[in-house]
Amino acid sequence: MIDAHIHLDQYKENDISTLLEEAEHVIAVSMNLPSCEKTLQLSKAYAKVKAAFGFHPEQPLPSDAEADALFDWIRQHAHEMVAVGEVGLPYYLRQERAIDDRPYVALLERFIVLAKELNKPIVLHAVYEDATIVCDLLEKHRITQAHFHWFKGDTEVIERMISNGYFISVTPDCTYETEIQQLIKKYPIELMMVETDGPWPFEGQFGNKRTSPWMMDHSIEVIASIKGLTTQEAARIITRNTTTFYNL
């Protein structure tokens, strides 16, 4: 399997080689410029690691100078990445305190323009009502290669995303979260990937275990059951989706 979204730079160095034995490839996303630099190093050290460069939205915004440095760096290393990401809007940060969304939207639009300029897919952190804003921006700039990781949203935005051919990826929480199981029912498997979002921890049978690519096997079992497929058929389709989307 291919882990379509993992923060590999956040793992202990000694754990990475063992973790990578559990996947064919991993799409390693980045949080900020130092994270991008670390992810690039990992992609050079391990052939299975495919790098994505971006700025995670669930943190304070960079200064103008920091943002300019990040965009310049990404342009310089565009040939060494498979996507722009992770980028998006700060849904969870907004639940903690009141923030002005407008600078986050402006930064995201700048990343969308960059993805179009570099002809790269974009990896998105956008859930619930934020997904509508992101769809508006993607449509404005005619972006079709969009991957909404660990997506959650209402029926209206789900139908809009399906119509636009946007991909989602499913985490191991599909084994115990009804909301994600309902999403799997609605979303075409042809537009689906699997991920861990590691090292983010999971509950249920994964409680107190280090998040690793082997957990995707259980996600595939859930997807296969919901879609009426064998696990082998589901794994083949989802692996093909990810390989094609990221041009692996």
Determine the Cα–Cα distance for residues 16 and 10; give it in Å rounded to an integer.
10
Instruction: Output the pLDDT for position 162.
Output: 98
**Domain 2-245 belongs to what architecture?**
Alpha-Beta Barrel (3.20)
Other C-beta atoms within 10 Å of 247: how many?
11
Instruction: Output the pLDDT for position 214.
Output: 97
Instruction: Output the pLDDT for position 155.
Output: 96
Burial of 205 (0-12, 13-18, 19+ CB in 10 A): exposed
Residues 6+ apart with CB under 8 A from 66: 33
103 upstream amide cis, omega within 30 of 0:
no
What 3-state class would DSSP assign to 241? helix
Instruction: Output the pLDDT for position 225.
Output: 98
Write down the domain spans for the chain. Answer: 2-245
Query: Hey, what are 74's tokens?
Result: 């990404």
Residues 6+ apart with CB under 8 A from 152: 127, 128, 179, 180, 183
86 upstream amide cis, omega within 30 of 0:
yes
Instruction: Output the pLDDT for position 139.
Output: 98
**What is the full per-residue pLDDT of the chain (248 aa) written as tens digits?**
999 999 999 999 999 999 999 999 999 999 999 999 999 999 999 999 999 999 999 999 999 999 999 999 999 999 999 999 999 999 999 999 999 999 999 999 999 999 999 999 999 999 999 999 999 999 999 999 999 999 999 999 999 999 999 999 999 999 999 999 999 999 999 999 999 999 999 999 999 999 999 999 999 999 999 999 999 999 999 999 999 999 99
Instruction: Output the pLDDT for position 158.
Output: 97
Instruction: Output the pLDDT for position 138.
Output: 98
Instruction: Output the pLDDT for position 141.
Output: 98
- Asked if residues 212 and 198 have their Cβ atoms less than 8 Å apart, the reply is yes
